[in-house]
Amino acid sequence: MKLVLLGAPGAGKGTQATKIAETLNIPHISTGDIFRKNLKEGTPVGLKAKAYIDKGQLVPDEVTNEIVELRLKEDDCKNGYLLDGFPRNIGQAEALEKMDAPDKVINLDVDLKALADRLTGRRVCAKCGESYHISTKKDNVCTRCGGELIQRADDTLETVNKRLTVYEQSTAPLIEYYEKKGKLVHIDGMKSIDGVFAEIEKALR
């Protein structure tokens, strides 16, 4: 199955993607994670992406599209893929149609007010990337691997607000784009993490 997870920053794409990829045995491809890995390794792509990520802006399409195109050619994508955070604008969606069009697109619907709280309260493991929220995680140690929990540089209130504006302007139009193609499934992203996953499982059956 070839799947795209759509949703605003903080909608829960990464959280659900881990579960879906495990269940369907398809690779979870997050462009945000790829950029952050490149940044950690100090590659030219990582350094270029940093300038945009820190400002809450989109990394230019030519950089992002090439990364995804190369990734989709890898062996583990033969039985499908789960894209998280790509496409993020109409240009990227058109590019994906040419690379390897998705079968289904899942849109996580979440109230705007909840998004800012989720993002500014998010803490991620510096070692394995697992995501937590300060309302439920009271210590600073990753339950999965023991790594230290940190705040992402782009999860400050100022940058979160910029990311939400970019979402409204560039990414939200993809909802109509995929609705017109008859590929979009709406999921209520305001439920609990397990509740959202149960809805996704039902939609994929």
- What DSSP state is assigned to residue 168? I
Sheet holding 131-133, edge to edge: 131-133, 122-125, 149-150
Instruction: Provide the token pair at 145.
Output: 């691997």
Does 2 sit near ligand AP5 (CB under 6 A)? no
Instruction: For ligand AP5, give the closer residue by CB, 71 or 163.
Output: 163
Tell me how far, at minimum, the Cβ of 23 lies from ligand AP5, in Å. 16
- The footprint of ligand AP5 on residues 143-202 (CB under 6 A) is 154, 163, 192-193, 196
* 3-state per-residue secondary structure call for 134-145: CCCCCCCECCCC
| Cα 152 to Cα 197: distance, rounded to the nearest angstrom | 24
Residue type, 79: N
Instruction: Provide the token pair at 50.
Output: 């940093």
Concerning whether 88 is annotated as a catalytic residue, the answer is yes
Of these, 2, 13, 50, 71, which contacts ligand AP5 (CB under 6 A)?
13
| Cα 49 to Cα 27: distance, rounded to the nearest angstrom | 22
Concerning whether 152 is annotated as a catalytic residue, the answer is yes
Instruction: Provide the token pair at 82.
Output: 């789960």
- The footprint of ligand AP5 on residues 22-51 (CB under 6 A) is 30-32, 35
Q: Among the candidate windows 19-27, 38-46, 115-123, 178-186, which touches ligand AP5 by CB under 6 A?
A: 115-123
Concerning whether 19 is annotated as a catalytic residue, the answer is no
Of these, 81, 86, 177, 178, which contacts ligand AP5 (CB under 6 A)?
86
Tell me how far, at minimum, the Cβ of 86 lies from ligand AP5, in Å. 4
| Cα 132 to Cα 141: distance, rounded to the nearest angstrom | 10
Of the candidates 36, 88, 118, 123, the residue annotated as catalytic is 88
Instruction: Provide the token pair at 123.
Output: 């803490």
Of these, 45, 58, 96, 184, which contacts ligand AP5 (CB under 6 A)?
58
- Write down the number of H helices and E strands in the chain: 9, 8
Count of positions on this chain that bind ligand AP5 (CB under 6 A): 34
HSE, side-chain direction, 13 A CA sphere, residue 171: 22
Concerning whether 163 is annotated as a catalytic residue, the answer is yes
Which residues are tagged catalytic?
13, 88, 122, 152, 163
- Interacting residues toward ligand AP5 by CB under 6 A: 7, 9-15, 30-32, 35, 52-53, 56-59, 64, 85-86, 88, 92, 118-119, 122, 131-133, 154, 163, 192-193, 196
